[in-house]
Amino acid sequence: MNDYLDAVDWDSLEGPYGPASDVPRLLQSLRSPDPGARGEAEEQLEDHLQHQGLVEEPAATAAPYLIDLLADQEAPDRLVASRLLRTILDCVELYESPRPASDIPTLRELASQRSDWWLSRSPEWRKHGGYQRPVTHPWHAAAYEAMRAGVPTYLQVLQDSDPDLRLRMADLLASFPQEWATMSPVLAQRLAVETDPAVAAEMCIAAGLAGQPSDGAIVDAVRRWRGNSDR
């Protein structure tokens, strides 16, 4: 991935404090054998990838490197990559639902429709020409798509021996309902053999958030954990 870093014009990417010139060096530092150096790089990268809870332009370009680091079993600490990827995803603000169109809206979509209806009736909004739903900023859309491209890696790492990594992968997967056809059989297989209750719970949540109505193997796999005594 060093060739990838060298190919990017980082100076042209604007972060919260100016050009993202330091980002490639910090990304490389995540592979340092020194835990202190990795911790410092992670802290500084958080400030480059987001500002006040909103994703910044360099995030979409940094995501592929982080995904590659996550997949590298020889890396000194893959959890640092998972934490930074979660930071990016948490700071993406999408105004369009990522869920494929369906005749059955989710509770979140119904709440959003209700909010739009009330705002459209607001005298204040009418005075200014009416309410228009905000449009997702290009930086945010690009960051989300860069994260979505990592779904095959998240599914691969979901089978890792480290329960912390499996937990974090299940958490990431919940945000990509468009990839349900790819995710469903892997989640079903993993739920059938998972031994960690926290990881299983997170996978069930991912199935609930990203899943589509189905009577296939995923339903049987989730049902296996229904009513589990380990709350």
The answer to whether 173 and 206 have CB atoms below 8 angstroms apart is: yes
Q: What is the DSSP letter of 101?
A: P
Can you read off the two tokens belonging to residue 50? 């987001």
* Amino acid 231: pLDDT: 67
* Amino acid 192: pLDDT: 93
Instruction: For the chain, 231 residues long, give each residue's pLDDT as a single digit of tens.
Output: 778 888 999 999 999 989 999 999 999 999 999 999 999 999 999 999 999 999 999 999 999 999 999 999 999 999 999 999 999 999 999 888 787 766 677 777 788 888 888 888 787 777 777 777 778 899 999 999 999 999 999 999 999 999 999 999 999 999 999 999 999 999 999 999 999 999 999 999 999 989 887 778 899 999 988 887 876
Q: Burial, 193: exposed, middle or buried (Cβ in 10 Å; 0-12, 13-18, 19+)? A: exposed
* Amino acid 179: pLDDT: 95
SS3 for 136? Answer: coil
**CB neighbourhood size of 216 (10 A):** 10
Structural domain boundaries in the chain: 1-96+136-149, 98-134, 151-231
* Amino acid 103: pLDDT: 64
The answer to whether 165 and 83 have CB atoms below 8 angstroms apart is: no
**Residues ≥6 apart with Cβ < 8 Å to 38:** 29, 30, 31, 32, 76, 77, 80
Nearest partner of 217 among 190, 185, 175, judged by Cα: 185
* Amino acid 130: pLDDT: 74
